[in-house]
Structure 1
Amino acid sequence: MTIPAGPAHHTSMGNTLFSSLATRHVPREHPRLLGPRSRLQALAKERPDAYRRTKEISARDITNGPHPGDPNADFGAQISVTSKLMSLSLVCAIEEDRSAGRTAIELVKQHYLDKPLPIGHVPFGHDCGVCGVVYDLCHEHWTEEERKRYHTFLIACRDNNVDEEMSPFHDGWWGYKNAGFIVALLAVMYETEKELFMLYNIDREFRTLCVDALKLAGDGGGYAEGFYVNYYMQDWLFACEAMRRCTGADYLAAAPEFYASRAIASAFEQYPGVRERGSRRPICVGDGRGRFFKVERDSALTANRMLVAHYRDDSDHQAINSFLNLTPHVGADENAWRELLWFDPAVKQGDLERFRLSHVSPGPGYVYARSSWKEDATYFFFKCGKRFTAHQHLDVGHFYIYKHDELASEGGHYVDFSGPHDSNYYLRTIAHNSVLVHDPSEIFSHVRAFTGPMGNDGGQAYPWPGTHFRHNGDAMDADAWRAHPELGDIAELLAFQDAGAFMYTAGDCTRSYSAKKLEWFTRQIVYIRPGTFVIFDRVKAKDPAFKKTWLLQAAKPPTGTAPHLVIDNGKGRLHVQTVLPASASVTLHQGDELYRYGGGHYPPRATYGPCAECRIEVSPSQPAAVDYFLHVLTATDASVPQVPRGSATVAGDRVTLTIGDATISFLTGSVGGSIDLGGKRTAFTSRIER
């Protein structure tokens, strides 16, 4: 049934959606999602090189992509169905090219409408959205029968996936489902009797559930799900732009705690240096496969371009725009259409050289820092955040250090979400830079519903099966999270300050572990620029016999002799000094031993790029209830043979470290202390200074 024109399809609020955010009716003309045809034609003239390349892609054949784990494949030389359809549709709309439009429509039928309906944990909404772009940009070239087929496909995708991807903490709500549905429903507005109410329900979910989740888990621009935000953010921002253009609803304004800092946090989530195909490698927090070039790097770059354009009058975003302009093009040939639509040369560039060198995102508990914005900068990341969703790891307290390449890295590979390697190694604490406390009686079971043999690594707890957080450890929404703090409130980022010459941060990791084995574990980190990191950990076990182990995931096997080890990776070097405990036991696990612990062996069945090749384990030589771990990690060029040695004293209520011209004191009874540097004493803060 076609809804007739007239006021019956409009609301008294002056918008089509019954939404408090919308301010106008959806236009009846096509194209509408990206603005009218005249705007697209103007973009083609303003950005002729991007349009030329988009048109070239529209004429190329779709390719069969390589295996996702093949590090030698050129993922940037592929032509996906999505990019082919986007390119063809833009050519059709800009040049009013019927042939391009009909080709796109036939491909929609071949790859979507003629295939079995996508149901379950698959990108059903994304599929609808890609088809929706073709529907909008090539609207006049669809036959009436083809339009009805698309309407049927769209509504059936919704009806058969009502109970899928329901949590806004999870990527599926945004990327698999609702970004595409928004685009598709706006494209068919006024043509069936259902699209209005379907879109209203998504809008209501966003306003009542998602905004709260973004403010809770995304304050500061990081997001608790970690790397997965790179997979869907550009698609979601496209949906937001379509909503804004078609209805006036500004979804970004509804959650500024996240969106107004997202491009900034994302810039801090990129390692220094330009890599394959002119791209930047993002850090991987939680599940993800970002270790070599794939198209999600272009998605992240495009999302940041969209955000700096939206916040173009903000000086921080202008500085980030200068950073983005250091990689002026997408990496993959097929993604020229992204440049055409969203790489706006009119956005001002700010002073990147004077832009701040650290950032904190309290929502997920992320701290980022750099020595400079130069491509050879030293980089640092620290995580001490709460539990919200399934793609998070048991990695509270984890950190990365990078100089020319990863030095303090991460272990394992994202092979199978709930396979034996992922459940026993990749997501577990033993694969991260944190601390183990081994209670021989502790039992790990049904991690991500895995029912095979399960190892006891001594790491952080997995208490969620059989609870409101279910077997994957994810909250349904912010209210459910607040109702069960015993399940989600597992850590606390306690402090953050950046005084220029040094940065300090602290976190309480205690609640991430079973209360049966651990009294407390706090981590304090002092970063003395340009490359020295002092890490002080206070750990108290319930039983002195529970072995404590400090972990460092070395990108390459180290050389030297403990307590002084050296990790070389490419042009970068990490000097590792174990200062405390005195006379520590240091063991290296590499080669066939890398994935062994507790009598089990958990190697990956496939690999997805470089990961840590050696696990360094540091333990006290004698059992005790309380132990202090103090390490000095110094990142340098590989040509630097040695760095200043650190020495420490433990006296009274503090541990005091002397390293170079700095003296650092840490309290032993609580979190806190001070640093003497450059003739000035500074007390460490006890709060997050933003």
Structure 2
Amino acid sequence: MKIKVLNLSLLVFIAFTLPHVAEASFSIQPTHPRILITPDEISSLRHKSKNISPYKEVYTALKSKVNSWSSPAANQYIVGNQIQAIVFVALVEDYNTAYLNKVDQWIINLFETQGAVKLALSGDSGAIWGSADTILGVAMAYDWLYPALSSLKRTQYGSYLIDFQKAVITQQGGMTRDASRSDYSNQFYYFDGMLSVTGITLHNEGIDDRLALTYLKTFDNYLHNNMIPTINQVGGKNGGWHEGLGYVDRAMTYFTFELEAWRVGAGEDLFPQVTGLKGLSKWLFYSTQPDGYVANIGDVTGWPVKWREQTGRRSVLLGARYKDGFAQYMANSISPTGSGNWPYIIFFLLWRDSSVPAIDLSAIDTAEYFDGVGWISMRSSWDSNAIFAMFYSGNYYFGHQHYDQNSFLIFKDSPLAVDNGIYNVGSPRYKKATRFHNTILVGNTGFDISLNNAKAGQAGASPMYYISDPENSSSDKGDILLFDNGPDFTYTIGDASKAYNAGRLTTYIRKFIYVKPDYFIILDRMIVPTTNFPIRWLLQSENSPEISGNSIMVTNGNGRLFSKTLLPENISTSSNIIFSGLTRYGGGNYRVEVVPSVNRSEEYFLHILWATDSGVETMPAAQLINSISGNLVGTYFAGYTVLLSKKGTVATQETYSISATGAIKHLICDLSLEGLYEIYQNGNLIMTKVSSKGGTLQFSSTGGGIFRLKARYN
């Protein structure tokens, strides 16, 4: 048999200049298989797949799927998954000739008939964005089937693998990375990370030993000096990925595979060091709406995205390596035999650890703060009909992040206050600009097709390499100043002052409090150096809002959101359609703008929002309340009083009055942390209470009157 081995030396080799890499600090296992599994694990994998429930049922479904394929897919996105599946069955079936021949048919077709290498070099989207699975599939064929392959066939598969890997990296700009493959870009982990799989597979195999070793050294350097520090920084204490929920699969699914390949093939278990990866599943879990779709933050596709087979592939491994109940819950929630989930099956069979308990929803909090990305998730319960909200203000790194500091989402039955930064729908394709988010603009919204809002909106940053101190860099665009969570409320403060041009705005503090189960109070404080530009308070919706005076009503599905502006008192409110044409969005998405009638150098917006059922016609009355000192401002509504500090300072005594009857709940924010307070009603001491760790004080009263809070120092 004549083997066609493509000679890639004709590629512009300057574009493929090999970077300087340090001496190897790793040791590749000498035997095969060494990608994801070892020789000692083959027997148990075969036994489990054929004899133990639920694995045998899942394996039977995979085998049936493989048997149903008569020819390779022309879809470059999935042909690599097909090769992985056929290789898995061939291994479990003890190198059955029929499956070995099927593997060969698929690989020959991919490289000889479809021309995978040429497609990759041409930038074909399927070949490029399906490349990681193609690389893994061919690597598995070489590595897992090694004993059953002739020397000639190993050379053929190995040559295909090295040529394809080289073509992909060349098409992406060569081994010297550009900005698209920065440490903070999903593409770095997707493209450069797969050097590990190719390098481990072909180490000392006589295919191209020099290049395989270069791949290994390069990945080893990237792993320790770029990837792990970056993931730990962005993931923080609780997990997260700054590019949002649309690109976490591409970045972290394949990095998880690469980390496992390194553990098995290079003998270095780095999972314990990648602390930012440990909480990734928790972050995704808390960032998922009650309807099962992930929150639309960052570049998420225009169509709803649920946990899918890639989520399962990653979660089942993270559950096993970290003994993580969130990952296990997600892996268990994704049926490997469900429609379209077959690529998940082999990883389910490889890694599912039945000894890891999934999280118990009744035992976890309904709110969580993800410090690495500056996201806060909150909801009324874990029921499918719960109210759900997100608030976000954090560092801006790169990639598919948006200019959305101090923005928020609110969901009840359907998205109500939405993030209109929807990727690849309407124009512009990338909706990173501030005007698509629930935050503020200082000036005009600009052209509809512009990618940003110039000086009126926020700006980002573009670090190429890991920055050790983002808080003292251009990435410091947003900060969470406070996260305080109680049984009845979730309170957070975001600071987006540094996200704006200093010539337009110097201070932007947003206080966002969720009063369970269905109210939200938002207090914004802005200081601007000039009054030449109006401040625009933005609220995004999927459907056309109804506006009446200072009130806004948004309806979507069975959910409805009311919003009332309490400050400033004199405003203009308008609605603008921002893109249209898809049934998913009711024909168009909208932006509401609330603008003060007079521009002031220091401005406050106070809004109360109520998420309820679509059949509700009116919002309960909301009364503006100011403390006598002027330090506190807030509202009384539906038997609840909420007060917040306007400037962050509260006197040792604060007095306010309410005209109401019946039982009243009070929620006073921004007091001394864990401070002791005497509470008076109409001059009578009614109780003494300690504020929370976040400085929030809760108490109840019968009826209204004059209330005085007095700090007591003992």
Residue 494 of structure 1: how far off its partner (Å):
1.0
Partner Cα separation in structure 1 for residue 505 and residue 220 of structure 2: 44
Counterpart residue number, 1:53: 61
For 1:285-434, list aligned pairs within 5 A: 285-289=297-301, 291-293=303-305, 297-312=308-323, 317-318=324-325, 321-322=328-329, 325-329=332-336, 331-335=339-343, 336-411=345-420, 413-415=422-424, 421-422=428-429, 426-434=431-439
* Pick aligned residue for 1:226 from 244, 251, 270: 244
Single out whichever of 226-235 and 514-523 deviates more from structure 2.
226-235
**Structure 2 residue aligned with 1:665:** 643
Alignment of 1:583-598 (within 5 A): 583-590=570-577, 594-595=578-579
How many Å apart are 1:224 and its aligned residue? 1.3
How far off is 1:283 after superposition?
Answer: 1.5
Please tell me the residue identity of whatever aligns with 1:107: W
Could you say which residue in structure 2 is the equivalent of 1:162? 175
Tell me the residue number matched to 2:37: 34
The two structures have a TM-score, normalised by structure 1, of 0.80
Matched, 1:435 2:440: yes
Q: For the Cα contact (< 8 Å) 1:133–1:184, is it kept in 2?
A: no
In 2 relative to 1, CA 510–572 (structure 1 residues): closer, same or farther, beyond 3 Å? same
Greater shift after overlay, 369-378 or 41-50?
A: 41-50
Partner in structure 2 of residue 173 of structure 1 = 188
- Root-mean-square deviation (CA), in Å? 3.5
Cα displacement (A) at 1:562 = 3.7
- Residues 488-503 of structure 1: pairs in structure 2 closer than 5 A: 488-503=475-490
Deviates more, 1:558-567 or 1:618-627: 558-567
| Alignment equivalent of 1:268, drawn from 286, 290, 299 | 286
Residue 494 of structure 1 aligns to a residue whose secondary structure is: strand
Give the superposition deviation at 1:405. Answer: 1.6
1:251 is the counterpart of 2:270: yes
1:475 equivalent in structure 2: 463
| Match among 504, 527, 531 for residue 491 of structure 2 | 504
Given that 1:54 and 1:334 are in contact with CA atoms closer than 8 Å, whether structure 2 keeps it comes out as yes
Contact map agreement 1:439 1:517 (CA 8 A) in 2? no
Q: Determine the C-alpha separation between the residues in 2 that align with 1:30 and 1:579.
A: 67
Match of 2:682 in 1: none
Change (3 A) 1:500 1:79: same
Shift of 1:334: 3.3
Unaligned runs of 5+ in 1: 1-16, 66-77, 274-279, 464-472, 596-602
Counterpart position of 1:189: 203
**Separation (CA, whole Å) in 2 of partners of 1:373 and 1:112:** 49
- Matched AA of 2:220: D
Task: Give CA-to-partner distance per residue, 1:472-496, whole Å, 9 cap, x none.
Answer: x4211123x7489452112211111
Q: Kindly tell me: are residues 305 and 454 of structure 1, through their superposed partners in 2, closer, same or farther at Cα, counting changes over 3 Å?
A: closer
Contact residue 32 and residue 246 of structure 1 kept, 8 A: yes
Q: Aligned with 1:627: secondary structure?
A: strand
1:239 matched residue in structure 2: 258
Structure-2 separation of matches of 1:682 and 1:655? 10
- Cα distance, 1:639–1:57 mapped onto 2, change above 3 Å: same
1:411-451 Cα offsets, whole Å, 9 max, x none, are 254229xx96136xx111111111011079xx99xx9xxxx
Please, which runs of 5 or more residues in structure 2 have no aligned partner? 1-21, 657-663, 674-691, 695-714
Q: Which secondary structure does the structure 1 equivalent of 2:576 belong to?
A: strand
- Tell me the SS of whatever aligns to 2:108: helix
Q: Which residue is equivalent to 2:102?
A: 103
Q: Which amino acid aligns with 2:465?
A: D
For the 8 Å contact 2:549–2:573, the answer to whether it is kept is yes
1:201 and 2:218 correspond: yes
Aligned positions, number: 613
**Counterpart of 1:348 in 2: which secondary structure?**
coil
Q: What residue in structure 1 maps to residue 661 of structure 2?
A: none
Q: Structure 1 vs Structure 2: percent identity of aligned residues?
A: 22
User: CA separation in 1, counterparts of 2:503 and 2:77?
Assistant: 53
Deviations 1:17-40 (A, max 9, x none): 9776x6x75150336423432243
Q: Does residue 1:574 correspond to 2:561, yes or no?
A: yes
**TM-score (norm: length of structure 2):** 0.77
The equivalent position to 1:622 in structure 2, one of 582, 586, 598, is 598
1:81 Cα deviation from its structure 2 partner: 1.0
Whole-angstrom distance in 2 between the partners of 1:570 and 1:659: 25
User: 2: distance between equivalents of 1:367 and 1:675?
Assistant: 31
Q: Does 1:558 align with 2:545?
A: yes
Partners of 1:130 and 1:626 in 2: how far apart?
Answer: 60
Task: Give secondary structure in 2 for the equivalent of 1:146.
Answer: helix
Seen in structure 2, the aligned counterparts of structure 1 residues 232 and 85 have a Cα distance that, compared at 3 Å, is: farther
Q: Which amino acid aligns with 2:285?
A: A
CA distance in 1, matches of 2:544, 2:572: 17
Q: CA offset at residue 633 of structure 1? A: 1.6
Contact conserved, 1:657 with 1:664, CA < 8 A, in 2? yes
Stretch of structure 1 that moved more, 360-369 or 31-40 = 31-40
Residues 628, 438 of structure 1: alpha-carbon distance in 2 compared, 3 angstrom cutoff: same
Conservation of the 8 A alpha-carbon contact between 2:302 and 2:422: no
Q: Using CA pairs below 8 Å that are at least 6 residues apart, which structure has the higher relative contact order?
A: 1
Once residues 166 and 332 of structure 1 are traced to their aligned partners in structure 2, the CA distance between those partners, rounded to angstroms, is 30
Which amino acid is the alignment partner of residue 167 of structure 1? S
Does structure 2 conserve the Cα–Cα contact (< 8 Å) formed by 1:666 and 1:672? no
What is the identity, as a one-letter code, of the residue corresponding to 2:110?
Answer: H
